[in-house]
Structure 1
């Protein structure tokens, strides 16, 4: 894996990425998401995706782009919507950030709501697996995905530089283009970017519906996933001013998309998001703090759910998040940062499918992280966070939300400790232990209505208490020049895991005739019960999550025929409801990945084999998924034209055209993953 040296200017970074692979230098990235102190050796398990790796793994959605990373699965709601799942945890337990600040949307509310982000605009993605609530709040109890786009340039820029990318192909016949331009005089820096993507209905092997729910008389669509086409467009303008000891900048970005809901023929989602950002850093300060960093984001988001062209429901979410981090002067061997974070979130849903009331959520948090180089070999970290959240619903006179007229307040505390011990120059041991609390969300508290996207009637509980978890990680890491990787185990015990659990009752559902393909139940309930749908209650239970993750990059050989390497990874997660003894739903099975890499001068190529076992460990009212093995391959060639550097690539996926159904997807029985596909692309930097 090639890691981008993060202290380079955008020009130097662009030239480094475009340089021949034989000249590349292996550098350790700074995973600032997990540690604002900038240390590269972290106790928390983390992954960085950038450079060629990000280019060749990029898909149309964030969830699919990250789907093959260790411990990360996808909620897969067709090519239009897909969110990351980390170690079996999804929704509000995974914090999705842009440049370190939360971008408000509605993606955690429902699986059919897309994350308003095109990975084509992203320069780097950092993933922290396991609790990162210490720095980013209780809703990072499962992990953090942080994307960086340099829309506020954080380093000075000299001259005019840019990049562009074109792609065509894939199982949904994607046509995409993206470009960016950056200019500066060493003080002022300007950033412009734009992107556009269109895609058709997805090609799939066989029937969309699995044999478990397929009706022999009406088997449904074959070879195409109906109503899965869409488009997404975006752009941004940003700028910053730099001086010797810091910078300050502003940005504005727009995201616009329209895509079909694969669960509901004829239903489309029309989404817009405007985001305003401010960032500044003051370095080399005198006094108690050596540096101060400020980030602020304001977001105005809405999406409309259209049926036959008519608006049926409008979701709106607007608000801001601001955070400040101050790094104090070293206290002997101890370095540290203290910070504060404040946010406001105004959510409303208007229309017949509005199953949650209008709600305002305010939170204020204080946090600190200290790191102590105890000995030459032992590095220790300790931190804490205190967060107060107030959730204020407004029923607007609706009888359905009558119980939602009283606000709820929560004070959540989190503690985290970590250690990295160097056993030998090759081997090291990393461990974390943390206690995390998460305040319930407005929909867990106040939901009351038919949720068409999931084919359920969801009922919140205004009396829910905080979600509490004790989590630990233990990993053995190694790097001897030939092998570089880690083997680790994780364990989380929840005292009050807020699950959406079936009550066994039926409730009157939506009055339109939708076919939701409810994979949470083995029967198709849409019409059997006169429009009735099963009732699901948000309820706190004891739960346990545990598993193993491993990865290794093995440098096989380096000779006149090129450089050969083998990348191996695997992960396995188990999750149980300890109150009932049942397995929790939508957990990815054992997954094994292998990739053979070859590099020679300007050429690079790889062949990937991915295997997932069958998933039979599930609740009784949920369907299982079959095992699958897929084959992928890619080849790339670098060349120069004048002062610009180019990468042309071809990527094939699922080349044996296997039927793949993700157990982490709520639509596993009606929306399989893409079939055989080939995509070509061209990327340039100048």
Structure 2
């Protein structure tokens, strides 16, 4: 039985069970929580150490959210088919996505060991966070800043994990506090991996079965698939001896030796043409077949431009390090706790991009002489944050954040530096909350940033640019039970200034680069209605704008880590979206249902479109940033049921389904010919089923997700890959050793050992997800 069928059956069973006798409410350790005080529309996921490799991995279990999977070490959140510059990533309120928003092969600096939780806002969040949240936002609690005083003056947390076809990780976190008002955290974590095993070959089966096809002109091949598979077919044309009626058995031209010279349709040699007399040397061709072509095309060989790995995925090693220190000062004011915190954090990552692991070589060259593409990145961050409470109804709480981030990312082809980019960003955000009446509450905020981008190397694809962004916003909520109404407005300014000279490529649309300024206005409205205590209906609408970022405006050159020759367009206009969402929820004592449908209509949607050409010897598709209207539609359904098993503990069964489409509305005929009607690399629909059981000190979880075949893929440039099911398990046991609490942990992923290739991954044809993997770990607290 497919997981999809099982999932739908489970949804029906859960609905029947919900109507049966009510069981006592069971409090389970929450993996997904809703925090109204922090973000009422966000879904929060606590840290699952055994299955966190990237930020995308941490949130891919949320309906409507997947991981970009640009190789196993660069997975960022894809929210309802949107990512990059449209999904804002922050850590403790400070922007964290940096170069990753422009280069999918660059990972987001993320600590899988000590982050506490991750929250995902799936709806347009521009009013509070700016244009980069036009497709939603993700907030990381990095676990570094102390938010409360521990019971003991000194605390120590040690984490050890051994991976089998998975990451080895280690970490230590110490807390020191004076039991009064000061608390300090110091942490260090590291992850290592030599490389991943895979189920079979790294290149997908379609790279063998569908690369070559026959058409009216003979043999041909799918150029998009050829480039995606990193292969080069060599087609050889041969003379068809069955096409001629006569042949001369004893003829042989010592000069040319060409076989077709001994065959003829007329039985005449050149000298016989004048007499029109058949030459007796010609005989009837016993192989003659009337109407067959003169030439036959055959596949001589298919060259692998990059290596087709078997069982072991080459160039998939990883090394991560994080070191951080933070201190908080607490004080009481107006009956509540206030604090100010300072933190310093550095993260370093070095890893390979598998599959696309060699410099692209010309036909006939040996891929073994190529070079692997590798990423070396460092993020250094200093931050200050504070929260204070006040007695005035027009200012009852205030938050302030400021940060300085220095991010460096090097893209290497073998030992040669292709490009080295530094993003230096200063940013701030302050919000003032008020509640002048019991039925009225709101927040006023100001946030902004100054970013400097500098690049060096032989293959720089971005100029040096300074970007200044600031915005002001207001959001008010009126509560008239059972109806709540929330209104929000934001004004934002974005300015890009070119610094120095930058030579654009000969294929560029831009000639002389110029700075750009944008003024943006966005608003949203939300209405919530609870006709009954356990039933909620929520409608949301937003009209928002996003300014083009520097890669969309100015990029020009080979960009190895996105497998494309990228060309920007500095005449792009801001994109605008009208977002609509309708949600219905039922919150029972032990049975919950949440369902949402949404439609986002973009005007002047910015995307990279294929030109249909390949860039010279680099063998990369030439793509241009351009605009047209698109519509994103989809739905999500989540169902969960709690069971009290008496002396056998408690259990939660949950299920979800989601689907998204991202479709052109008015693309040109050329764009439709090259790219098709749907956006490329779009997530497929999924069906998930999970069971979590708790008994005394034991916690056991099993989750399965069925990824369907693509139903709305880009038919012009994408070849569909098979559906697959991912099953994972997580077992925890709490114990005490020498009076100290410890958690023993065992986890497994891809337990069915599937050849899994996410449709939204640009590397899916040449780099599958890892094969079956296990982890064994322990976390001890002293």
Provide the TM-score with structure 1 as the length reference.
0.88
Residues 207, 220 of structure 1: 8 Å contact kept? yes
Cα distance in 1, alignment partners of residues 199 and 309 from structure 2: 11
Q: Over aligned residues, Cα RMSD in angstroms?
A: 2.2
Is residue 152 of structure 1 aligned with residue 145 of structure 2? yes
SS in 1 for 2:553: helix
Corresponding position of 1:634:
730
Is residue 558 of structure 1 aligned with residue 645 of structure 2? yes
> Which of 499, 507, 524 pairs up with 1:416?
524
Instruction: Give 1:63 shift.
Output: 1.1
Cα distance in 2, alignment partners of residues 39 and 192 from structure 1: 25
Deviations 1:301-322 (A, max 9, x none): 1022223333231111111110
Instruction: Give 1:120 shift.
Output: 1.3
Instruction: Give 1:154 shift.
Output: 3.0
Cα distance in 2, alignment partners of residues 639 and 533 from structure 1: 54
Map 1:174-323 onto structure 2 (within 5 A). 174-185=167-178, 186-214=180-208, 218=304, 220-245=308-333, 246-262=338-354, 263-265=356-358, 266-286=372-392, 288-323=394-429
Is residue 66 of structure 1 aligned with residue 59 of structure 2? yes
Corresponding position of 2:743:
647
SS in 1 for 2:682: coil
Cα distance in 2, alignment partners of residues 674 and 655 from structure 1: 11
Instruction: Give 1:420 shift.
Output: 1.9
Instruction: Give 1:47 shift.
Output: 1.1
> Which of 464, 467, 471 pairs up with 2:579?
471
Instruction: Give 1:547 shift.
Output: 0.6
Cα distance in 2, alignment partners of residues 507 and 267 from structure 1: 18
Relative distance call for 1:25 and 1:441 in structure 2 (3 A) is closer
Residues 450, 457 of structure 1: 8 Å contact kept? yes
Relative distance call for 1:278 and 1:89 in structure 2 (3 A) is same
Relative distance call for 1:162 and 1:335 in structure 2 (3 A) is farther
Corresponding position of 1:390:
495
Relative distance call for 1:602 and 1:156 in structure 2 (3 A) is closer
Cα distance in 2, alignment partners of residues 419 and 399 from structure 1: 49
Map 1:36-115 onto structure 2 (within 5 A). 38=37, 42=40, 44=41, 46-50=42-46, 54-56=47-49, 58-103=51-96, 105-115=98-108
Cα distance in 1, alignment partners of residues 416 and 567 from structure 2: 27
SS in 2 for 1:544: strand
Instruction: Give 1:162 shift.
Output: 3.6
Instruction: Give 1:56 shift.
Output: 4.8
Instruction: Give 1:284 shift.
Output: 2.2
SS in 2 for 1:317: strand
SS in 2 for 1:154: coil
> Which of 628, 646, 656 pairs up with 1:569?
656
Deviations 1:104-130 (A, max 9, x none): 631111111011111212011111102
Cα distance in 2, alignment partners of residues 332 and 616 from structure 1: 49
SS in 2 for 1:445: helix
> Which of 483, 486, 503 pairs up with 1:378?
483
Cα distance in 2, alignment partners of residues 492 and 57 from structure 1: 35
SS in 1 for 2:339: strand
Instruction: Give 1:578 shift.
Output: 0.9
Corresponding position of 1:340:
446
Corresponding position of 1:480:
588
Cα distance in 2, alignment partners of residues 28 and 96 from structure 1: 19
Please identify the structure whose Cα radius of gyration is greater.
Answer: 2
Residues 31, 126 of structure 1: 8 Å contact kept? no
Is residue 125 of structure 1 aligned with residue 121 of structure 2? no
Cα distance in 2, alignment partners of residues 507 and 674 from structure 1: 31
Instruction: Give 1:596 shift.
Output: 1.6
Relative distance call for 1:606 and 1:240 in structure 2 (3 A) is closer
Deviations 1:356-381 (A, max 9, x none): 11111101100111111122x11111
Residues 64, 80 of structure 2: 8 Å contact kept? yes
Map 1:325-474 onto structure 2 (within 5 A). 325-375=431-481, 377-396=482-501, 398=503, 400=505, 403=511, 405-474=513-582
Cα distance in 2, alignment partners of residues 347 and 553 from structure 1: 46
Residues 709, 722 of structure 2: 8 Å contact kept? yes
Corresponding position of 1:674:
770
Relative distance call for 1:58 and 1:183 in structure 2 (3 A) is farther
Deviations 1:45-65 (A, max 9, x none): x31111xxx225642211122
Deviations 1:425-448 (A, max 9, x none): 221112211111000001101111
Is residue 166 of structure 1 aligned with residue 154 of structure 2? no
Relative distance call for 1:454 and 1:572 in structure 2 (3 A) is same
Cα distance in 2, alignment partners of residues 404 and 160 from structure 1: 60
Corresponding position of 1:16:
none
* Unpaired segments ≥5 residues, structure 2: 1-24, 209-230, 232-301, 359-371
Residues 394, 405 of structure 1: 8 Å contact kept? no
Cα distance in 2, alignment partners of residues 30 and 629 from structure 1: 28
Cα distance in 1, alignment partners of residues 636 and 555 from structure 2: 35
Relative distance call for 1:103 and 1:635 in structure 2 (3 A) is closer
- More off after superposition, 438-447 vs 416-425: 416-425
SS in 2 for 1:130: coil
Cα distance in 2, alignment partners of residues 397 and 658 from structure 1: 46
SS in 2 for 1:120: coil
Residues 177, 196 of structure 1: 8 Å contact kept? yes
SS in 2 for 1:391: strand
Instruction: Give 1:456 shift.
Output: 1.9
Corresponding position of 2:4:
none
Cα distance in 2, alignment partners of residues 680 and 25 from structure 1: 21
Cα distance in 2, alignment partners of residues 177 and 56 from structure 1: 11
Residues 393, 436 of structure 2: 8 Å contact kept? no
Deviations 1:453-492 (A, max 9, x none): 2332211111111010001111111121221230111110
Relative distance call for 1:157 and 1:645 in structure 2 (3 A) is closer
Residues 264, 453 of structure 1: 8 Å contact kept? no
* Unpaired segments ≥5 residues, structure 1: 1-20, 33-37, 509-529
Corresponding position of 1:490:
598
Instruction: Give 1:621 shift.
Output: 1.1
Cα distance in 1, alignment partners of residues 67 and 497 from structure 2: 31
Instruction: Give 1:174 shift.
Output: 1.5
Relative distance call for 1:435 and 1:72 in structure 2 (3 A) is same
Relative distance call for 1:65 and 1:573 in structure 2 (3 A) is same
